[in-house]
Amino acid sequence: MKTMEIAIFPLQTVLFPEATLPLRIFEQRYLDMAKECLRDELPFGVCLIASGEEVGAPAEPHEVGTLARIVDWDMPQLGLLQVTTRGAERFRIRERWASAKGLLRAVVDVIPDEMPTTLNPEHNRLIPLLKRVLEELASQGNAPTAAYRLHDAAWVAWRFCELLPLAADLKQDLLELDSHHERLAEVFRFCAQRGLLET
């Protein structure tokens, strides 16, 4: 298992692998973090806040988060940085501390990706719904930029986790699951209960 030291950005949102997350950065500690990541091509960690706030004193993050890589950035005015990030691997925090400037840093274990696998037959009913959602996003110019992998259980699971209107704590639970098929089973249950699946 790969271990690395990274900066942690606690947020009120969950970032999933291969998902896109735009951020507006204005606090000096995070501006410094973003500059370092851009300069050295480093990722930082996005974690859902367990307690505390995004602004001010360092928040308490959940232990499992996702590495974020900056893929685009703009500085429309002094002191405001707009970045587009993309989720990479998940990680688990081993130890963490706050720097003198209030930036959380952590030693993390990167969670290896599961081997690619196809969907279980019962989860194939999710595909028409995902196609409809992706087509709607494409019509608004917001579709995922990566190639669609509709037969890849991991890709399908992560896209549903990203796109469904779920509470943040439920999204965190899905992020922490170790199996894509477990994740898809939870997604299937949510969609079936709300009558979103074709018969």
Position 199 in a domain: no
Residues 126 and 107 in one domain: no
Residues 10 and 53 in one domain: yes
pLDDT tens string 77-108 = 998 999 999 999 999 999 999 998 899 999 99
Q: Is 69 exposed, middle or buried (0-12, 13-18, 19+ CB in 10 A)?
A: middle
Q: How many helices (H) and strands (E) does the chain have?
A: 5, 7
Domain containing 103 equals 3-111
pLDDT tens string 174-186 = 999 999 999 999 9
Decide: 128 and 158 in contact? Cβ < 8 Å: no
Query: pTM of this prediction?
Result: 0.92
Boundary residue ending a domain (64, 92, 111): 111
CA distances to 27, 127, 142 from 20, rounded to whole Å, are: 21, 21, 10
Q: What CATH code is carried by the domain that includes residue 104?
A: 2.30.130.40
Residues 98 and 7 in one domain: yes
Give which of 135, 65, 130 is closest to 96, Cα–Cα: 65
